[in-house]
């Protein structure tokens, strides 16, 4: 895979387009969304869906597809926008977000969203599911990979570490985890609420290949993925250091924007900032 | 007697074996032809006899260590990839320790996972409350998409496990621990269908609707009562969900009293399921025999059955007292 500068630039721009569409969708609904986590994971999801993943929008259940488990299921708004952009989900559905009987809500439902590999929302479940998918892939001698998006607050769930132990025990080098390390959770700072550090060392101690990157730097994301392809019988975790609410000035690093809706002034300001960023990439 | 049990072993074999031993052998038999079957355990594989499968098909058997939540989640992951995942641990842990994974990861997406929970009810005896599973039916019965089966003996265990493979979606099968007494010694082979109760005996005065180990005890109770001139029927309600409404309504119309019998709390299990049907469709008096709303004490399974009124003799006494 090439990670030349034009590809990187395109993906960077795309990540802001996805943020903008997420804001438009969430404000059309009116109640907002989990802006903080959606915006901190924007580059990682954009790099995955528009560059890294082997997926088949015309055949979402293709047996050889790469799997994605959005274990931090509350990042669903931007995930839905991306699945619509890729053609898995009809774009009209975005207008139904969170409404009665919608396919799209605060957390993804695999039975309602084409291209969604697992229903999630309750934190701490996704990595175990990925272990099952990865073992199944090994059993079938398939080459697909299983990508998992974990929030950092989610790492306080004990089940994550049960799964981390199992992935390492079963040598599941087909698992690639991105930890959205934005340092904030619902009630505030992770290190004040229940400290996760030293985080990299924890994963290393569990037997994982461990990398730490700037999670808003597309090139670093692509390079980190490339390095996961060097098989050494270990599962892979990429700790993506991110800024919660990235891209909208008043949301950045503000834990109060874990979830919320904007008033009209905030909305105008947010959309303007995101549009400006997109225009800069277009120049 | 050398009657064949699905050509895999003889009736004489079955009579010697516990539910879980038959479960282990059935899994091996199924796994021989169905390569999609994977088996997951959590450091109890040699206890629940999935070790038979582990030894025969090591590449398709996975021990997750003492980590039930992870095991259930992984089972869901396997099922999304087209596998039929059999998951086994003690019933107390399958239903409670990993409860949310069962509900959210398996039942919510309606995945093809078969939970075979062993050592249910009071069968762990001196293990005490931590190892007694007296609430599991109430818990798993409340999950949409879940099918819940409690075989009466080893023969029915084999039939239930085979039926679970034939049916797409999550199934919870509740097994005991020891070599349970055979209910179907004379009636084998018979037609087992999920959701269709088996009428072992009709009676116009009282009908006992029992599940699991209590089917055998209910037969004893009906014999005791029969000698006293009371005509007592016995239904083997092997499927708790979907419950056989038709059979319940029929016996509710033909009996003066219904008695439910289960090795489970009287809250939320078979007794509740039967009451839900009759209260809406055919109101009739129902006596619920089961474990009262307490944490159970230490003792042998037989002593505990006696303590909580779940032996044939005690069941008969209780019925005589209210007639």
Domains of chain B, start order: 4-174 (3.40.50.970), 198-322 (3.40.50.920)
Q: What is the torsional sign of CA A213, A215, A216, A218?
A: positive
- Residue A127 in contact with residue A160, Cβ under 8 Å? yes
Q: Can you tell me whether residue B33 is helix, strand or coil? A: helix
pTM of the model: 0.95
A230 pLDDT more than 50 = yes
Minimum-distance CB partner of A129 among B59, B73, B110: B73
pLDDT at B19: 86
B296 pLDDT more than 80 = yes
- Residue A125 in contact with residue B101, Cβ under 8 Å? yes
For chain B, say whether A166 makes contact (Cβ under 8 Å): yes
Give me the interface pTM, i.e. the ipTM: 0.95
Is B302 one of the catalytic residues?
no
Interface A-B, measured as beta-carbon pairs within 8 A, has a size of 105
B45 pLDDT more than 90 = yes
Roughly what angle, to the nearest 10 degrees, separates helices B312-322 and B214-227? Answer: 50
Judge: A135–B62 Cβ closer than 8 Å, yes or no. yes
- Please work out, in degrees rounded to the nearest 5, the angle formed at the alpha carbon of residue B220 by the alpha carbons of B217 and B225: 125
pLDDT at B164: 98
Neighbours of A198 (CB within 10 A): 10
Mean pLDDT of the region B12-40 = 89
Report the share of chain A in percent with pLDDT over 90: 96
B187 pLDDT more than 60 = no
Mean pLDDT of the region A227-241 = 95
- Which residues in chain A touch residue B143, judged by CB atoms under 8 angstroms apart? none
Q: How confident is the model at residue B185 (pLDDT cuts 50, 70, 90)?
A: low
Q: What is the pLDDT of residues A168-226, one digit of tens each?
A: 999 999 999 999 999 999 999 999 999 999 999 999 999 999 999 999 999 999 999 99
pLDDT at B188: 58
pLDDT at B120: 96
Q: How confident is the model at residue B110 (pLDDT cuts 50, 70, 90)?
A: very high
B228 pLDDT more than 50 = yes
pLDDT at B184: 74
pLDDT at B1: 35
Distance from the Cα of residue A45 to its chain's centroid = 5
For chain B, say whether A129 makes contact (Cβ under 8 Å): yes
Minimum-distance CB partner of A110 among B65, B101, B109: B109
**Which candidate, A165, A198, A244, A196, places its Cα nearest to that of B43?**
A165
pLDDT higher at A239 or B183? A239
For chain B, say whether A135 makes contact (Cβ under 8 Å): yes
B210 pLDDT more than 70 = yes
pLDDT at A200: 98
A31 pLDDT more than 80 = yes
| Total H helices, total E strands in chain B | 14, 14
What is the least distance, in Å, from the CA of B75 to any CA of chain A?
6
B4 pLDDT more than 70 = no
The C-alpha atoms of residue A271 and residue A251 are separated, in whole angstroms, by: 12
Mutation to test the B interface, candidates A112, A129, A177, most B Cβ within 10 Å: A129
Residue B202: burial class (beta carbons within 10 Å; 0-12, 13-18, 19+): middle
The mean of the pLDDT values for chain A is 97
Assigned token pair, A178: 């991105």
Backbone φ/ψ region at B105: left (φ over 0), alpha (ψ -120 to 50), beta: alpha
For B245, what's the count of Cα atoms within 13 Å in the CB-facing half-sphere? 9
Judge: B77–A128 Cβ closer than 8 Å, yes or no. yes
A251 pLDDT more than 70 = yes
Q: How confident is the model at residue B17 (pLDDT cuts 50, 70, 90)?
A: confident
- Which residues in chain B touch residue A138, judged by CB atoms under 8 angstroms apart? none
pLDDT at A247: 98
Q: Can you tell me whether residue B267 is helix, strand or coil? A: coil
Judge: B104–A122 Cβ closer than 8 Å, yes or no. yes
Mean pLDDT of the region B105-119 = 98
Beta bridge partners of A185: A188
Neighbours of A199 (CB within 10 A): 18
- Which residues in chain B touch residue A235, judged by CB atoms under 8 angstroms apart? none
Structural domains of chain A, ranges and CATH numbers in brackets: 5-282 (3.40.50.970)
Nearest CA in chain A to B102: A125
Mean pLDDT of the region A109-122 = 98
B5 pLDDT more than 50 = no
What is the least distance, in Å, from the CA of A75 to any CA of chain B?
18
Nearest CA in chain A to B70: A128
Mean pLDDT of the region B274-299 = 97
pLDDT at B13: 63
Mean pLDDT of the region B146-173 = 96
Assigned token pair, B309: 């009124």
pLDDT at A283: 80
Assigned token pair, B107: 């039942």
B208 pLDDT more than 60 = yes
Mean pLDDT of the region B293-309 = 96
Report the share of chain A in percent with pLDDT over 70: 99
Assigned token pair, A100: 């009665």
B3 pLDDT more than 50 = no
B83 pLDDT more than 90 = yes
Residue B321: burial class (beta carbons within 10 Å; 0-12, 13-18, 19+): exposed
Tell me whether the omega of the peptide bond preceding residue B122 falls within 30 degrees of 0, making it cis.
Answer: no
Which residue among the candidates B3, B55, B68, B100 is catalytic per the annotation? B68
Mean pLDDT of the region B8-21 = 69
pLDDT at B180: 67
Mean pLDDT of the region B143-149 = 98
Question: β-strands B113-118, B84-90: how paired?
Answer: parallel
Neighbours of A169 (CB within 10 A): 16
pLDDT at B244: 98
Nearest CA in chain B to A125: B73
pLDDT at B168: 97
Nearest CA in chain B to A65: B81
Minimum-distance CB partner of B78 among A122, A135, A163: A135
Mean pLDDT of the region A26-51 = 97
- Residue A148 in contact with residue A69, Cβ under 8 Å? yes
What is the least distance, in Å, from the CA of A239 to any CA of chain B?
22
Nearest CA in chain B to A135: B78
């Amino acid at each position: 895979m090439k990670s030349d500068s034009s590809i990187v630039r395109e993906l960077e721009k795309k990540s802001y387009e996805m943020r903008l569409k997420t804001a438009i969708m969430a404000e059309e609904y009116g109640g907002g969304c989990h802006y903080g986590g959606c915006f901190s994971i924007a580059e990682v999801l954009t790099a995955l869906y528009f560059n890294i993943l082997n997926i088949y929008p015309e055949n979402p259940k293709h047996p050889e597809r790469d799997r994605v488990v959005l274990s931090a299921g509350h990042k669903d708004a931007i995930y839905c926008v991306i699945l619509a952009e890729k053609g898995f989900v009809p774009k009209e559905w975005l207008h139904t977000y969170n409404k009665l009987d919608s396919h799209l809500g605060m957390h993804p439902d695999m039975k309602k969203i084409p291209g969604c590999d697992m229903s999630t929302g309750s934190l701490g479940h996704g990595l175990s599911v990925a272990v099952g998918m990865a073992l199944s892939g090994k059993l079938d001698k398939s080459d697909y990979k299983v990508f998992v998006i974990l929030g950092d607050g989610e790492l306080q769930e004990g089940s994550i570490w049960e799964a981390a132990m199992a992935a390492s025990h079963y040598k599941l080098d087909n698992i690639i985890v991105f930890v959205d390390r934005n340092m904030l959770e619902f009630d505030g700072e992770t290190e004040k609420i229940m400290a996760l550090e030293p985080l990299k060392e924890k994963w290393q101690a569990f037997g994982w290949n461990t990398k730490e990157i700037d999670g808003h730097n597309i090139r670093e994301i692509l390079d980190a993925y490339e390095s996961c392809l060097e098989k050494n019988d270990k599962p892979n975790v990429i700790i993506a250091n991110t800024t919660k609410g990235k891209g909208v000035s008043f949301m950045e690093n503000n834990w109060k924007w874990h979830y919320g809706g904007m008033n009209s002034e905030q909305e105008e300001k947010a959309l303007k900032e995101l549009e400006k960023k997109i225009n800069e990439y277009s120049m | 007697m050398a009657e064949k049990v699905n050509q895999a072993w003889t009736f004489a074999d079955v009579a010697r074996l516990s539910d879980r031993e038959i479960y282990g052998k059935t899994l091996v038999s199924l796994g021989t032809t169905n390569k999609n079957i994977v088996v997951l355990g959590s450091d109890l594989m040699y206890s629940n006899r999935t070790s038979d499968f582990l030894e025969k098909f090591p590449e398709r058997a996975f021990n997750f260590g003492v980590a039930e939540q992870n095991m259930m989640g992984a089972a869901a992951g396997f099922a999304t990839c087209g596998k039929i995942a059999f998951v086994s641990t003690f019933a107390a842990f399958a239903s409670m320790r990993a409860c949310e994974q069962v509900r959210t990861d398996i039942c919510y997406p309606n995945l093809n996972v078969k939970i075979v929970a062993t050592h249910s009810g009071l069968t762990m005896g001196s293990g005490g409350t931590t190892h007694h599973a007296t609430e599991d039916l109430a818990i798993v019965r409340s999950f949409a998409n879940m099918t819940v089966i409690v075989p009466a003996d080893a023969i029915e265990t084999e039939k239930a496990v085979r039926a679970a493979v034939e049916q797409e979606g999550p199934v919870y099968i509740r097994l005991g621990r020891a070599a349970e007494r055979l209910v179907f010694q004379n009636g084998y082979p018979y037609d087992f269908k999920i959701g269709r109760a088996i009428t072992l005996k009709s009676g116009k005065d009282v009908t006992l609707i029992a599940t699991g180990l209590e089917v055998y005890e209910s037969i004893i109770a009906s014999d005791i009562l029969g000698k006293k001139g009371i005509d007592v029927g016995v239904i083997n309600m092997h499927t708790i969900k979907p419950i056989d409404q038709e059979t319940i309504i029929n016996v509710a119309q033909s009996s003066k009293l219904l008695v439910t019998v289960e090795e489970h709390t009287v809250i939320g299990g078979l007794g509740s399921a039967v009451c839900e049907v009759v209260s809406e469709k055919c109101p009739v008096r129902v006596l619920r025999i089961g474990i009262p709303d307490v944490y159970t004490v230490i003792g042998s399974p037989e002593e505990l059955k006696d303590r909580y009124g779940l032996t044939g003799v005690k069941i008969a006494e209780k019925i005589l007292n209210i007639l």
